[in-house]
Structure 1
């Protein structure tokens, strides 16, 4: 009985501490600084415990873990490890067990690594004794694993620093290299944040230009309605922009101020850009095919860097033209295995870096023309798409390259004939297993193929499955996919048989459910889709249309992210490798890039009806949206709150924090940089509450009643976190 009372009293004290913690957190949030000090003082004097906020506790745990890791304090570290990592993860998760094994190695040899010149033998003996005890207890389960087998001899080696099997553990260069890789990952994250900030800045400039135009109109006697001004303010504040932009305005010259504002975000042309040295392309191609896998990988990396790191304009155009005129990918080769066949290499890094180079080619308009003239290219890419692991960088780069190539009608036709639509629909069905970046490009590729008459009829062959997947995607937490889902739905609903199937599935009710969101662009697009659903017209044939690839370069800012290939000491790489070993004579062929008339851009109110890529669509929506709204008759719009959405059949989507746990599935090294990232992942995962598997929302109910067959998708807790990315890459 007393034990029950004790447990109850403990619960009461815990609840009291939580309540006091909430009070303190609220006071801090409202900036009652003096009250917080008095509150702390009084709680301390009365012996009251005040719990820390969960986020603060998690941050402290991470900081203490990493601090004790750096200091080699194994007792503190493993106390925190036991406290923060759930027992089921420690005992059942293979990656967590592997990480724990390597952590024990780190602490065992820490005295030898801390003072390479003067080893603390006594401390090392104590540490190695603890490690031996671990091997005989918890570590015994891994004794049959080839990866860990050599380390079972570590306690019996007198001087591990000079032993061939263990000397790599003491190489500072290896630690530094892995820490640099981790830094590169963080830099990529910062680059994404910078790109978002720059896009917001451009949007702000566009809105400011509209307001200046309005002021000039009032000077000339034209009235501006309050509704119009309200709509501008709504757009300004819905983007969370609070900055004001001051510009000097000459009201005597209409259009001057707005022109100056728009000109301020126009790209500036560099003067006197130097040309890169010519290369010996015959020697390059020979070494790519006949050289070692490492040499091939380094060359593919260097050739890609020439494209991605050259200055936009004449310098980059000259590099690309040199590649094309010297037939770098051997379009006209009669060899059995031309350069492009490196996509079938047995070496994973070679395949990945070949895919990266193809993606870089596909990012440029002239590059897409060149690639589309290679008969075997699509076969090689679709082979890789179906063969590579779902989370591999090779597969991701192949997918992005195919999406960019789908801007060209000839490539669309070939992809549709190869049943790429069916493959994409199956992939998108389990969208929670895809990174945001892969999801976005998959949806955009599907839409581009669905815009073709042949693509629409291909979807009609399995209309129920296609409609189920697309309507589910409307509720995905990644709102970047919605324009492509809307475009695909609008396109395939022009087919009578698809419309009939959609009516039987109550698709209109599902669409109207999503139109209740306060997102005016989405609502208007849904109205267009519903109108298409209720129309009686058949699909228009596009057989006579001309090639519709726009003359746009799509070179993203982070094409070179997550480089896994790093040069060894004194090993040539990048431009130094090309200019040292492969200098040529007059192989650079300058060519003036022809500018074509830009294609008409789609209205923000209508679903997409022309092929696009995610990068180009983001640019259009960022820069064109403020100007298009100036002429809109609908001047008063409610604020957009994109974070409100009805749940889907599969319920709430797994958050980024949930998905982070999968990253420990990648190869784990003993070295500092890699262990840092894995500690972050496991600690964060252990503090994330599980999400519900389904909801009873109106949209969820409608989706179920529409007989969209298939089980509820399970939340995915083991998934590669990216890149963000979300992640954007030819990487």
Structure 2
């Protein structure tokens, strides 16, 4: 048995991984728009599984390229009845499975490039974020997708402009109703937006509220969020008026309390924050103008699929119903059209010392992998 277990854990050689069969995307998209809700949900699930269950490398890249070149989600369509509209379906399950698929796309850098080409998707996701129940899987996946969107500068700018920082700070005032996933992704999204000058300035307008929420989060039992809380604090304390507010509320004392019980890494990060808090640096011109940097299309190259994308499946096939790859290859088989594509090299991730608070945008799944 132990030999079999070792064999199952052995890394798969790339030449052993077959490419998945091509699909008939025209028929797929037609059924996603005109089929009944149960069929739509099964199709959304099967298409997501193709991404999440494929092997990283050529197999997954080929799946994603086929989705993008066939404009699976209608990101390039202005049509009223587009696949993206399933986010507003009256069916709870269809909405949830659409959000899961978008979150899976957003987990891959090329998928984020594709999604960002639709001018209304960000707004649709923000609307769903405010409309769905906070304990729902739809909300969780919408939030996950938005957090991954925040790796892209143009999307960060749009989210800041849309006032998402105010909304996140309000959500984080009461964390009892948030799952570990939604808590981590909410705080990491807030941090990514605070790294930008426009985000810092937005926080300066509600400094007391933001500082109270972040200082409460410092003591949260979920330690996974600490790097993002630290990163957000460090960022906004670059603004003199925020430092003044923080000193007035005794922030150094609060931080010193946590130094006593944190890990060595967190203690070092906290020391950096205290140093920033006590800094007398005037407002740096770079902080005011970082939005003009010629960096709009560069992003951190994060490609990580979390197991959470496939958790708690509410949709189960009944006797005689097809699901997953079986559904796709039985009903939607296409003509072989695989074209090998060399993956475009994106802006490489910048590794920084773990002693310092985070100063570049990250996603929780990537941060866990790089800094275990």
What TM-score does the superposition give when structure 2 sets the normalisation length?
Answer: 0.93
SS at match of 1:471: helix
**Maintained 8 Å contact 2:302/2:349:** no
- Equivalence for 1:606: 356
Aligned equivalents of 1:616 and 1:505: distance in 2? 34
SS at match of 1:516: helix
Distance between the aligned counterparts of 2:60 and 2:265, measured in 1? 37
Deviation of the 1:548 alpha carbon = 4.2
Q: State how far apart, in whole Å, the 2-side matches of 1:621 and 1:267 are.
A: 22
Q: Could you say which residue in structure 2 is the equivalent of 1:329? A: 73
- 1:700-711 → structure 2 map (5 Å cutoff): none
Structure 1 position 441 matched with structure 2 position 189:
no
Q: 1:428 to 1:413 in 2, by over 3 A?
A: same
Q: C-alpha separation between the residues in 1 aligned to 2:136 and 2:342?
A: 38
Answer yes or no: is the 8 Å Cα contact 2:86–2:95 preserved in 1: yes
Q: Which residue of 2 aligns with 1:278?
A: 22
C-alpha RMSD over aligned residues: 1.7
Partner of 2:118: 374
Cα offset for 1:620? 1.4
Deviation at 1:545, TM superposition (A): 4.7
Is the CA contact 2:299–2:346 (under 8 Å) kept in the aligned structure 1? Answer: no
1:356 matched to 2:100: yes
Contact 1:525 1:605 (8 Å CA) reproduced = yes
Spell out, residue by residue over 1:32-83, the C-alpha distance to the aligned partner (whole angstroms, 9 max, x if none).
Answer: xxxxxxxxxxxxxxxxxxxxxxxxxxxxxxxxxxxxxxxxxxxxxxxxxxxx
Structure 2 CA distance for aligned equivalents of residues 478 and 613 of structure 1:
16
Q: How far apart in 1 are the matches of 2:266 and 2:21?
A: 50
Counterparts of 2:311 and 2:37, CA distance in 1: 21
Q: Which structure has the higher relative contact order (CA within 8 Å, separation 6+)?
A: 2
How far has the Cα of 1:558 moved from its partner? 4.2
Find the aligned partners of 1:320 and 1:415 in 2 and give their Cα distance: 26
1:388 aligns with 2:136: no
Q: 1:266 to 1:575 in 2, by over 3 A?
A: closer
Aligned ranges 1:189-268 → 2 under 5 Å: none
Cα distance in structure 1, aligned partners of 2:82 and 2:325: 23
Task: Report if the CA contact (8 A) 1:567-1:573 is conserved.
Answer: yes
Q: Is the aligned partner of 1:542 residue 2:290?
A: yes
Q: Which one has the largest radius of gyration? A: 1
Contact residue 32 and residue 40 of structure 2 kept, 8 A: yes
Q: Determine if the alignment matches structure 1 residue 291 to structure 2 residue 35.
A: yes
Aligned-residue offset at 1:266: 12
Distance 1:266 1:577 in 2: 29
SS at match of 2:17: coil
Following the alignment from structure 1 to structure 2, what is the Cα–Cα distance between the partners of residues 366 and 270? 21
Distance 1:507 1:620, change over 3 A: same
- In the TM superposition, what is the alpha-carbon distance from 1:391 to its structure 2 partner? 0.6
Using the size of structure 1 for normalisation, the TM-score is 0.48
Query: Counterpart of 1:453?
Result: 197
Matches of 1:309 and 1:368 in 2, distance apart?
19
Structure 2 residue aligned with 1:482: 226
Q: Which residue pairs with 1:563 in the alignment?
A: 313
Per the alignment, do residues 269 and 423 of structure 1 end up closer, same or farther by CA in structure 2, a change over 3 Å counting?
farther
CA distance in 1, matches of 2:360, 2:10: 25
Q: What pairs with 1:514-663 in structure 2 (closer than 5 Å)?
A: 514-535=258-279, 536-539=281-284, 540=287, 541-543=289-291, 544-546=293-295, 547-596=297-346, 598-622=348-372
Give distance in 1, aligned partners of 2:18 and 2:12.
16
Aligned to 1:262: none
Q: CA offsets, 1:370-396, max 9 Å, x none?
A: 111111111111111110011111000
2:3 counterpart residue number: none
The structural deviation recorded for 1:559 is 2.4
Q: Distance in 1 between matches of 2:153 and 2:11?
A: 30
* Partners of 1:491 and 1:476 in 2: CA distance: 20
Does the aligned pair in 2 maintain the 1:343–1:350 contact within 8 Å?
yes
